[in-house]
Chains A and B, each alone.
Chain A
Amino acid sequence: MRILIHELAWQSRIYVREPMALLYVVAFPLAIVVFQYFRGTGDPAFLLALGVAISVAIANFAGLSISLATSIERGAFTRVYVSPLPLTLHFMARMLAPLGLILVATGLLLLAAQIVFKTDLGTLRPTLLFLALALGTFAFGALGIMLAVLAKRTNRASFLSQLVLFPLFVLEFWAKEFPLLWLSPLHSLLLFAQEAVTAGSGGAALVSSGGILLAWAGLALAVAAKKAGDAL
């Protein structure tokens, strides 16, 4: 436990020292949500949930994959491998490292919803929202680790993460026309977060979207475990 806390503290420090992380995890989702609100696209609850989902996806999928790929490229990952720190703890710390920024982003999104959109947050279920963040962090973190060990280079991880995330994000505005979108981890996280914000139908939607996120996490971790050795 001591070594995990030590690693988490340092990985968090490394993560927030990248100025782009602050921009993309905190400022970008906030800007998108406010912009879309004033354009009249989507209701405030949907936009709020979308902002949370984008923040988590950028932090853990794009941010984590790029930072881990950089470590692989520069050999820091190899140095960790030959140290007594188990790689599972290193990955766990990397996954949890962006959580602080995600919480800041979520707090600002809630504030924007209340002040700018005048949304009534009386229906908000904080525990469920926190569960959404945890599930999203786990699923997108696992996907980010998988992408990093497959890409192995910063520029490849950056290109591939944008190639995947951007279409998924844009498609959310036409979700009804793309029935297969229910398979997307971003869509599942958005549904889960929306349930937490609106206290919607609950039950089935939470189980199915949570299940899809866990399935993506399991698949990504299995691939990452198989390919991690190639990244040394």
Chain B
Amino acid sequence: MKKLHKRYPGVEALRNVTFTLEAPEMVVLLGPNGSGKTTLVRSLAGILSPSEGEIQVFCHDPRALPPSLKEKWGFVFQEKPGLYEELSVGEHLKLFGGYYQNPKDPAELTRELGLEQIMGKRTGELSVGQRKRLELALALLPNPCLLVLDEPTSALDIEMKAEIWRLLKAQKDDTAILITTHDAEEVEVLAERVLVLKEGVLVFDGSKEEFLQIGGSVRASYNRILEKAA
């Protein structure tokens, strides 16, 4: 992502954002509500066109990514679950699994994400946490090299969060993972590198150690970075 600007009428959602992701890497993106995190994720997915600057995913413009390269990424979007209410959990895995040449074993995924008991349930009947787990399963289905997760563990209980963190750490060895979150513990457990966005500007990009040195804890470092950027 190079010198990326994204403008909506009357608002500049992203301003001169530049960073690179390289596998294997676990990057946590922090920022207050409305700081541009979701715009950044949607730009990375090729859903939004940049107003200025450039985005490249696997050396291609994500808006024109060939199907063979779309086999290599996975997304969890924040605002919309992206599920068919007419289909069950198991049917979702079969439907979306059919789009990939070599999808991950759905049985393994359902076991890892604790979906076995709800395989026959239609998505309209799922709790928010169950839906989040299914969304994560669909993102992991292609065995991706790039995984972009917009607040993937919000609304999950502590045990399930820990299970997902374990899964993401296991996935990390050959994957670049970008996670947006408001959860300080998630930063402590997962992050190798931290990005902080404020009002569309990338105000911090450094290792977790560099980030923690600023304030001593995730919360204090984060607040100090935001204050300094004001």
Contact = CB atoms under 8 A, between A and B. Distances in A.
A14 B87 contact: yes
B159 interface: no
Given A14-B86, A71-B84, A76-B83, A82 B95 contact: no
Interface in B77-104: 77, 79-87, 91, 94-96, 98-100
Most buried by B among A18, A76, A229: A76
A78 B138 CA distance: 13
A73 B85 CA distance: 12
A79 B47 contact: no
Contacts of A3: 98-99
B20 interface: no
B84 A76 contact: yes
Q: Is the interface of B mostly helix, strand, loop or mixed?
A: loop
A117 B77 CA distance: 55
Contact of B68 (A78, A79, A84, A232): A84
A10 interface: yes
A85 B99 contact: yes
A10 B83 CA distance: 13
Interface in A126-176: none
Interface residues of B, number: 28
Nearest to B135: A79
Chain A contact patch, size range: 20 to 34
A229 B64 CA distance: 12
Interface string A48-87: 0000000000000000000000010111101101111110
A84 B100 contact: yes
A232 B87 contact: no
B36 to A, nearest CB: 18
B67 interface: yes
B211 interface: no
Nearest to A5: B98
Contact of A78 (B67, B71, B77, B99): B77
B222 interface: no
A17 interface: yes
B67 A79 contact: no
Contacts of B95: 6, 10
A75 B80 contact: yes
Interface string B176-196: 000000000000000000000
A86 B67 contact: yes
Interface in B106-138: 138
B73 A78 contact: no
A78 B85 contact: no
Cβ-closest 6 pairs across A and B: A75-B80, A75-B82, A79-B82, A84-B67, A17-B86, A6-B98
